Structure 1
Amino acid sequence: MIEKLKQRWNVKNGWDVLIILLVFACTGFSILYIKRALFDLVGLTKETSPSWLLWTVNIVIILPLYQVVLLAWGWIWGKFAFFLEFEKRMFRSIGRLFGRKG
């Protein structure tokens, strides 16, 4: 599995793969805590808030924040360039989905 990730991400060794996985884990946990704090601050809960509002906040605020936190953790762990390229590829892929005419 490590070899497949090395090839897919075009990295040199298993330590790079480990750091990249660690950055994704740190980002996920960070966003979890930020989201919980933000929702508590503005009073959004599953019980009292409509689901469309929760989805909207997640898409409009949390998703972009995830990208910023991902780059921040990538910078902390010395993989900023990797994650910047990763995000560029992801946004290009998303853009192609919405750019198709048919």
Structure 2
Amino acid sequence: MSFLHSLKDRWKLDSLGQVILILIAFACTGFTVMFLKTPIVEWIGGSEGNQTLYTILYYIFILPIYNIILLIYGFVFGQFSFFWNFEKRMWYRMTRQKHKIKSE
């Protein structure tokens, strides 16, 4: 079984086309966040100073931004419901509210 077929089964999708669209949405989100790093770090405090502190603050600020961008790309590629459920599962896992995750 190929990698794409295993993702299709794991994510309970209907077609390989959906898998490809979801992977493209993840890739676009990653590239967008990569391009946003410099402006966000400059907004936090510039390129001078403690780079470790700026990196930590960047990761704190980028998490909600990443999630919003992921939902936007999910909408653009017609896979919003997948990404909305993905975000809910991630939120429940981060907050340890496992009882609210529907059985997968």
Question: Which category describes the TM-score, using the shorter chain as reference length?
Answer: 0.7 to 0.9
Does the alignment pair 1:78 with 2:83?
Answer: no
Identity percentage of aligned residues: 36
* TM-score, normalised relative to structure 2: 0.81
Q: Distance in 1 between matches of 2:26 and 2:44?
A: 27
TM-score, length-normalised on structure 1? 0.82
Residues in 1 aligned to 2:28 and 2:82: alpha-carbon distance in whole angstroms: 16
The structure, 1 or 2, with the larger RCO (C-alpha pairs under 8 Å, 6+ apart) is 1
1:1-102 equivalence runs, <5 A: 1-45=3-47, 48-59=49-60, 61-96=61-96
1:39-68, Cα deviation, whole Å (9 max, x unpaired): 2345533x6324134202321x11110000
Letter in 2 for 1:52: L
Alignment RMSD, CA only?
1.8
Which consecutive aligned stretches of 4+ in structure 1 deviate over 6 angstroms post-superposition? none
The SS at the match of 1:2 is helix
- What 5-or-longer segments of structure 2 have no aligned partner? 98-104
Q: What per-residue deviation string (whole Å, max 9, x for no partner) do you get for residues 2-55 of structure 1? A: 11100111111111100000000000000111122222345533x632413420
Mark the runs of 5 or more structure 1 residues left unpaired by the alignment: 98-102
SS for the counterpart of 1:96 is coil
How many residue pairs get aligned? The number is 95
